Amino acid sequence: MWFQWFRKGMSGLDDDEARAILRERGLVCNWWRNAGLISPAEVANKLTAGALQDHLDKYQTVQDETPFISLTAGVRMRTSRPRGYGQNRVESAQRTALLYATDNFQSAGHIFAGWVPVLPHSEVRLEPFAEDVRDLLTYSQFRRFHRQGEVTAKIHVPMAQLQWVERWELGAGRSSAVGRRAYVAGRWTNGRFVAPEGHAAIRDVL
């Protein structure tokens, strides 16, 4: 097992909502948010390999009822060339989260940072452990959205695993990024964050 750092971009929040997620509620899946109350038996019925594949490949059709939470840890993409040459390039977690937070630079948004526990092999039924769907040895089926560097959490990421949240505004600022198209306009930390160091192997975002 290891602890994987992640980023999570969210649009449509105000600062109070973002701070409540960071310091009180944590990240919750859309199914729980929309249902209000869920039971352990319902959770067990929801956490299936088929539901995970629908979340990854047919998100628009299941977004209101998915028990999963998309996070990004970044990924290395390989580009091949003739005669065995090629190159690797990094699709960073921060950039991917920023695109989601700002709806592709259409509005302001928030980026969360935190960690989730991950097992070396897939086990969708175990709620506490996220799925590292970037791993091509385990998730070998071609996915159009592989470059998003997704690590998929289940049901809930507790607030103790969230370290900070940033508000990103459009335009140039002192902390600008991605061709000066957005900048950090506010940042809040979680005083009840529990750091993963010292408990298991750590993997940082790319």
Look at 175 and 95; give whichever has higher pLDDT: 95
- What is the tens place of the pLDDT at every residue in 73-98? 998 877 777 777 777 888 899 999 99
Give percent of the chain above pLDDT 90. 76
The domains of the chain are located at 1-187
Question: Could you tell me which residues come within 8 angstroms of residue 186 by beta carbon, excluding any fewer than 6 positions away?
Answer: 15, 166, 167
Contact 59, 144 (CB under 8 A): no
The fold of the 1-187 domain, in CATH, is Heat-Labile Enterotoxin; Chain A (3.90.210)
- What is the tens place of the pLDDT at every residue in 29-64? 999 999 999 999 999 999 999 999 999 999 999 999
- Rounded Cα–Cα distance for residues 111 and 102 (Å): 9
- What is the tens place of the pLDDT at every residue in 141-174? 777 777 788 999 999 999 999 999 999 999 865 5
- Rounded Cα–Cα distance for residues 88 and 101 (Å): 26
Neighbouring CB atoms inside 10 A of 109's CB total 25
